[in-house]
Amino acid sequence: MTDPQPAFVLIRPQMGENIGAAARAMWNFGLDRMRLTAPRDGWPNPAANALASGAGRLLDAARLFDTTAEALKDCHYTYATTARPRELTKPVMTPEQAMQDAAARLGRGERVAVMFGPERAGLENADIAQANAIISVPVNPQFPSLNLAQCVLLTAYEWQRVRDDSLRDAFAQPDLATGQEIEALSRHYEDQLDTSGFFYPDHKAESMKLNLRNMWSRMSLTSHDVRMLHGMLRQLVRGRSE
């Protein structure tokens, strides 16, 4: 990648106009890697082009995915934007802090993404559980609602402010696991724990699985860590069956 930058991932966006406005905001600050997950009104959407105002190239190149997991599977670190308090324990950053962190990670060769939720209610907990950190904009607590394109604009602006210095000062780091590797690890443990009866009682199973997935994504696991954890679990299962 000749120009390291975060991918901006719009999760289940509802209005084409907001997608176009988000593309315009991204291109204002040199960002051109947009990903879309399950747009409500389908894709491509003529309304998006009408609001892009010269940033149509971003819409033409936007990558389309069916699920959040698919959109993030090649990423090593993901930030989730949300204004509402969540019960999921994750690092919380301002847009400035997050983009400083993102620039440093990109300089070390990692792939990062920023998730933005749908206009009506924002990201769901199931989406945020797949992120490593939360971006929270310090807005008026009595009126925390931000338009999708406004949130994209704020984050893109902070990216442009910090990118040059952070990328120049970056240094080599271990090979962090991708979202696809973390997802496979999560499924492996979930399947084995399910078989052993860990998810009990039944009415708490989904919440337990969500917390387990959140725990994996909160760790800075390397690809080597993931392989070792797979091997540990396989050995435990093998030893139990002998």
Domain ranges of the chain: 7-169, 179-241
Q: What percent of the chain stands above pLDDT 70?
A: 93
Q: What is the pLDDT of residue 171?
A: 47
pLDDT digits 0-9 by tens, 49-92:
988 988 999 999 999 999 999 999 999 999 999 876 667 789 99
pLDDT band at residue 166, thresholds of 50, 70 and 90? low
Q: Does domain 7-169 have CATH number 1.10.10.10?
A: no
Identify residue 55 by its one-letter amino acid code. A
In the numeric block, which tokens belong to residue 88?
């999921």
> Mean of the per-residue pLDDT values for the chain?
90
Element (H, E) at 217: helix 205-218
- pTM of the shown model: 0.80
CB atoms within 10 A of CB 177: 24
Q: With helix as H, strand as E and coil as C, how does 194-208 read?
A: HHCCCCCCHHHHHHH
The DSSP symbol for 148 reads: H
Q: What CA–CA distance (Å, rounded) separates 236 from 13? A: 43
Cα angle for residues 99, 105, 106 (degrees, 5° grid): 90
